[in-house]
Amino acid sequence: MDFEQADALNQAIRLLSLRHRARAAALLAPLGLHPGQEALLLELARTGPMIQAELSEALGCEPPSVTLMTRKLEAAGHVRRTPAPSDRRASVVELTDSGKALVGQIKRLWCALAGETVTGLPAQTVAELPRILRALAGNVDARARRPHGSGTV
């Protein structure tokens, strides 16, 4: 790939990421949430209670980030943390009734954001986007694990 093509691709991905996050922040702010917190709440809604370390893995976040998010969401009354029965050093995180109610609002906002993001694209392209974006994320993850200079660029 030549530089011009690489630059165009990297710039498009960067701009999409920045603008999507900014739009998500604007939509989440009236709910008292910051980007990332909605993903944590949605994950708990999908899976049920989880140990924080598992939640960190599921979200692809560093454990300290998940700890900070859970503390803030707990202070707001949206999640509850309790000691894990198998390991008192670990915390199990679960949604409260407030968190469950908030998940419904988040889902509506997420649908609106996705709709805004793909406006004007053909339905077939929209259907293929999750697979393509997961593949791109997987490529970046796989390359991040390789030492610099090994493999092709």
pLDDT at 142: 65
Beta bridge partners, 93, equal: 50, 81
pLDDT at 153: 45
The Cα-based distances of 148 to 4, 64, 69, 83, 152 in angstroms read 22, 26, 32, 41, 10
The Cα-based distances of 19 to 12, 14, 117 in angstroms read 10, 9, 10
pLDDT at 80: 96
pLDDT at 40: 97
Burial group, residue 78, by CB count within 10 angstroms (0-12, 13-18, 19+): buried
Where are the extended beta strands (E) located within the chain?
50-51, 79-83, 91-95
Q: What is the pTM for the complete model shown?
A: 0.84
8 Å CB contact between 115 and 107: no
Residues of the chain with pLDDT under 70: 142-153
Domains of the chain in sequence order: 3-144 (1.10.10.10)
Euclidean distance between CA atoms 2 and 11, whole angstroms: 14
